[in-house]
Chain A
């Protein structure tokens, strides 16, 4: 059963169900549970990146070798990825990224706002399909559908995890 307080575990289970091998990431508080679950799991390996576009190129190389990865990042990292996304569209590499949003709902830090506003547009301009999840049920069903579609029909799909889901970051 999907409830508000176990969606992260459910999300991890969906990723495992699709036999994802690697989780390249630049960390975000919203991904912390997923990263720690993968650290404890033998079948899925977290890969720490120095910048998000590394994860785009890594995903392509991984698929060249027949394995699957899912890139975890924050919305601010999407800007870092823009040109590297051309690798995916040129080669039709399957690609899924889970993006925790900043700057769009209850944001306290104005520096997060410009990239938060531009995230969906940047992805769509580079040919990435965007699904935006605002509640725990959507996160699970959107990610399930994204993983199925991407790896069976060579698509590039982003699931945005709204701040409404993650809760306001309190300071």
Chain B
């Protein structure tokens, strides 16, 4: 079993990242990462994706490039990032220093019944990010690795990528609002942007 040497738990990992976000905006990829971030504490500066699989990193890039002084953290899963794997190359071209992409890699598609993803077969997103010219790319497998990553958050010296190996567990679902318009409007209001 791929997860046998892994003892990081996704909810605890996400809680530590969220607790150290400071002024960072957080974009989440669909499925468990959305629930994990919501469970760590809802916030108008969170934008949760419930669909648009493969799009989380690019939503993050758009936000980061729109506001170069605003730190942006994308928290997503291995399956979601694999669907948008080309976006790592696109980010590697733009190199925004205020963007961090964090993948919670449990090696499985959790929402659909725990089918193995590519990362269970040895595909390494950390190496893909590194080869895509991210300024820093981390492979996180222990509490020490996680503490080291948190020192780089919120991102000011990015782009930063982190692939965090987490146990393949399915914590109880913790569901934020589904209404995309409300999520958009509260996020923009928090940046003093008008609703429409």
Contact = CB atoms under 8 A, between A and B. Distances in A.
A86 B89 CA distance: 23
B23 interface: no
Contact of A54 (B58, B67, B183): B58
B61 A61 contact: yes
A92 B184 contact: yes
Q: How large is the interface on A (under 10, 10 to 19, 20 to 34, 35 or more residues)?
A: 35 or more
Main secondary structure of the interface of B (DSSP, over half): helix
Interface stretch (A8-16, A33-41, A42-50, A100-108): A42-50
A65 interface: yes
Interface in B72-121: 84, 86-87, 89-90, 93-94
A54 B90 contact: yes
A69 B63 CA distance: 11
Contacts of B155: none
B27 A61 contact: yes
Contacts of B62: 22, 57-65, 67, 69
A69 B53 CA distance: 21
B84 to A, nearest CB: 7
A50 B86 contact: yes
Given A58-B59, A64-B62, A87-B49, 20 more contacts: A21-B66, A47-B94, A53-B55, A53-B84, A54-B86, A57-B55, A63-B184, A64-B191, A65-B62, A65-B64, A65-B70, A66-B191, A86-B52, A87-B55, A87-B180, A90-B50, A90-B181, A92-B180, A93-B184, A153-B196
Interface of B: 27, 47, 49-67, 70, 84, 86-87, 89-90, 93-94, 180-181, 183-184, 187-188, 191, 193, 196
